[in-house]
Amino acid sequence: MIKVIIDKSCQAWGQCVFDAPEVFDLVNSERKTWQYVVNDNLEEKVMIASRHCPNEAISFIKVDDE
């Protein structure tokens, strides 16, 4: 499992929504993560979203499935 971490520097540019719509959403001009823990099969999409974030506000860590 992958735990998605968003820090306060997020300015809702929305690039993450395009890169990983299964994980991120944009609501009322504010970027929201609607899944904070995702399956390993989404790791690449979360990694791409993290790299594309203009404010470097997205990070993630692997967590146990338990």
pLDDT at 60: 94
- pLDDT tens for each residue of 5-58: 988 888 888 899 999 999 988 776 666 656 689 999 999 999 999 999 999 999
Neighbours of 3 (CB within 10 A): 13
pLDDT at 8: 86
| Domain hosting residue 12, numbered range | 2-62
Query: Can you give the pTM of this predicted structure?
Result: 0.83
pLDDT at 41: 96
If one counts the domains in the chain, the total is: 1
Running DSSP on this structure, what letter comes out for residue 12? -
Partners of 2 in beta bridges: 38, 62
Which CATH number does the domain housing residue 31 bear?
3.30.70.20
Torsion angle in degrees (nearest 10) through CA of 10, 36, 41, 21: -50
